[in-house]
């Protein structure tokens, strides 16, 4: 257990950050799943909307140091590639790059 006031405060701050980071990562995972479901459905409009929201969440989490910026860039690239492949099969124009 922490003894000094600053150590106790740091524990409180750490606990708050842990909850924020955990909820943010969970929201990102949920959003990625929604995007993957949209890809499976084959709905071009839904895919593009979900991709935009997913990429935005990834980059926002990276900006706030919840995830590493390279992880966000890699995931965005992978998901954009998946969406573009699905759009090509559907005959729709490709999604804009982030």
Please provide residue 96's backbone torsions phi and psi, each rounded to the nearest 5 degrees.
-70, 145
Q: Does position 31 have pLDDT exceeding 70, yes or no?
A: yes
Residue 22 lies in a domain: no
Residue 70 lies in a domain: yes
Residue 75 lies in a domain: yes
Q: How far apart are CA 45 and CA 70, in angstroms?
A: 27
Helix (H, G, I), strand (E, B) or coil at 98: coil
pTM for this predicted structure? 0.85
Residue 84 lies in a domain: yes
Residue 37: domain span: 29-90
61-78 pLDDT, tens per residue? 999 999 999 999 999 999
Q: How far apart are CA 18 and CA 77, in angstroms?
A: 27
The CA–CA distances, whole Å, from 95 to 2, 67, 91 equal 51, 24, 12
**Nearest Cα residue to 59 out of 47, 76, 46, 82:** 76
Report pLDDT for 89. 85
Q: Does position 98 have pLDDT exceeding 60, yes or no?
A: no
* pLDDT grade for 92, boundaries at 50, 70 and 90: low
Spatial contact of 31 and 54, defined as CB atoms under 8 Å apart: yes
38-63 pLDDT, tens per residue? 999 989 999 999 999 999 999 999 99
Residue 5 lies in a domain: no
Q: How far apart are CA 8 and CA 10, in angstroms?
A: 5
Residue 14 lies in a domain: no
Residue 49 lies in a domain: yes
Number of domains into which the chain is organized:
1
Residue 15 lies in a domain: no
Please provide residue 6's backbone torsions phi and psi, each rounded to the nearest 5 degrees.
-65, -35
């Amino acid at each position: 257990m922490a003894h000094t006031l600053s150590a106790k405060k740091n524990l409180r701050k750490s606990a708050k950050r842990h909850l924020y980071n955990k909820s943010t990562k969970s929201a990102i995972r949920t959003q990625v799943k929604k995007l993957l479901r949209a890809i499976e459905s084959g709905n071009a409009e839904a895919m593009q909307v979900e991709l935009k929201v997913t990429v935005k969440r990834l980059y926002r989490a990276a900006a706030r140091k919840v995830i590493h910026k390279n992880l966000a860039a890699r995931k965005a690239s992978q998901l954009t590639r998946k969406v573009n492949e699905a759009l090509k099969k559907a005959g729709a124009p490709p999604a804009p790059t982030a």
